[in-house]
Structure 1
Amino acid sequence: MAGPQTSDSLSRALSEFQQWFSANGGWTHPDIVFNEVPSGSSVVATKNIPGDSSMVRCPFKLAVTPSLATSALASVHIEPQGWTERQLICTYICFHWILDEPSRPAKFAHRHYIGILPSADKLRTPLHFTTEELEAFRGSNLYAATLDRTSEWQSEWEQCQKFITQVNQVWGTAFTWDRYLTAATYLSSRAFPSTVLSQIPSLASTPSAYPILLPGIDSLNHERARPVTWLVSHPDTGSMDAARNFEDEATISVVLHKPTALGEEILNNYGAKPNAELILGYGFSIPQNPDDTILLKIGGGEGKRWEVGRQAQGIDGVWEEVQRLLGAATDASERLYEDDLEAAEVLSDMIQSLLDRLPDLHKLQATIRSEVMTMLRDYVEGQKDILDSVNAFAEDKKEKAIESAREQGIELVFEDD
């Protein structure tokens, strides 16, 4: 794989990509330009652009899909069984680096697209953190999620490498973990669900959806709540010929509804995502992200997890599970004040334990890069705010239980009062 991108090499790659994109039916608004930034590239306006303007249009035929990857790999006699969509697409990407230009079959057609993606040294997901940086997240859900993802992806890579080595030992040696990790990070940070390629596009994934890459469109960075529309243009599918040619002729565009001023970045909307997902999959965070969540698991709860957001959104399921495990009545109206009091104390103790485990921002290594430090601070802020709101929920339940006892003529006295 190529080393770190220099300014000159990236400029050349961006120019070659735009020529390739246009030659293959892609389109970009005439008043936007691809610029170099520390993380790779961005897209900015060269003039004031009115609202409701289409920014980028990508033909379906340029999408990187599992079926395209399968066909391309078969052309070099790699025909595995049982690989995941990620394994197929990542291997397809890696073979653009493994095969020399003269020997690369025509089906590996995304060299110019892959050439503008950020080099490995610019990726900032936790799988690219230094040991000290990852250790800074110890005690958090994100730390455990990173270890799980690393293990999962390494197992995938080992399976792919073993199969490829059986086909060609030189290719197997060149199919390194670093290359697979880079390709998998491209997929986690740039992929859209295949549902966007339907006649009524949607970012909402379904059980049958799979990841795809959309050259040009995935160059637009994310802004939460940015009003955009995904628009599919396709031939009249009333005829059999048109239906057969749908994927060859259909295109997908991103339309921005807000005006964009000269010099502003053209931004897309990836949907509501908590910082845990943004950091793990994309390598960036949003300050005070309203969509932040935390996964809570209760001992004895049969492995079930609850996703709780800010202001304790979603905590009701956790509360009911605590009550169930303590043997309280199923019907809330039949519960005694003792049930609520005990459940509130159990929930409060659990949350305090999680708060105590959160990374201590005052004990961080000086070697942590500024981008990672920003992600850590944003992540911890969100996790702490959610846990504090759950504590407030438990305290409210406790106060109501005490009031219920008073109404029954019982005055409760606590050891810490």
Structure 2
Amino acid sequence: MRVLLSTYGTRGDVEPLVALTVRLQELGVEVRMCAPPDEEFAERLAGLGVDLVPVGPPVRALMRGASLPSAAELSRYRTEMVEAQFGIFPAAADGCDALVAAGLAQIAARSVAEAAGIRYVYVSYAANSLPSPHHAPPPRPGWPEPEANDNRTLWELDAHQANAQFSETLNGHRAAIGLPPVDNVRDHVLTDRPWLAADPVLGPWRQTPGLHVTQTGAWSLADERPLPADLVSFLEAGTPPVYVGFGSLRPSPGIVERAIEALRAQGHRVLVSRGWADLNPVDDRDDCFAIGEVSHQRLFGRVAAVVHHGGAGTTVTAARAGVPQVVVPLQLADNPYWAGRVADLDIGAALDGPTLTTESLDVAFKTALSPETRTRAKDVGSRIRTDGAAVAASLLRDALR
């Protein structure tokens, strides 16, 4: 039994499929993965005995700029990605029994699976990526901001934008391989039976007519790596610090500096995660310490709060650790959704968009670092599941049998 997994994005997009890979291998299923050609992803998969089938340009290079590419550049990248997928996916899927795709960028995946006669599963890491009247669609960089207020209209406009971007290219390739055209590209990719790899406490799915969602829980692995000795020394030298990090993304200029200023004013120490943007403290005072790649699972239980951009992986890891969060959402994908969930659950504070002041940060930190918020965060943390990837692997294995 062999499965092809596919995604395109940052570490937050790839790591859940790594977790699924491990659980599938434990069940005797062979795995291939299509992902960006970044060296760290190839090394991660090589450690599991999985060859990376590279698709598209390296993501780290795309994220290196101070701002996102222009709308025209993003449109070109998306069209080129569809062309690349139709060129690479058929050979990658050869001999496979299923193709599991994560992310709307996987435009060609279902058509390739259909042509090969194999099972296709679409996976979302957040509920807001699936159409529902209960929430708005996620922000999609490069597409015009929709001028509507109700969620149903916003989802209709979202489908229109997907068609405008992908319909001609997708249906051209489908015709070339003998498949009929599709009239709704987004819903074709998502299917009416998608999987939701998100924790049901942290990011529940609300029943929606016409969409039969299987919610498995978030896909993650236990990360038992010990913390570096210098980090342990910093942690033990004083009160628990506040973690500030934005992962693979580049925050708006000045956010880290303002966060450190506001935290110091309240008497807190700070941990700055360098991330892909290579962030650093503003000075060399001993109340602030910069770290590279470490186990968040080991670290977050030892900090006072986690300040981050609202990625699914960071949000669930902090929630599972029972630590309050301050979310500074970049207006991308699921960031605003997870910010809203943190606020709704009262396990921290969510700031309105990526631009903020020292004053707004000061209020957010006071909210997140209150005893009441910590108590609620610990309660929610005790209910976060850890078996999502194992559940998904078993479901897939059983379906293929």
Using the size of structure 1 for normalisation, the TM-score is 0.29
Structure 1 or 2: larger helix share? 1
Using the size of structure 2 for normalisation, the TM-score is 0.30
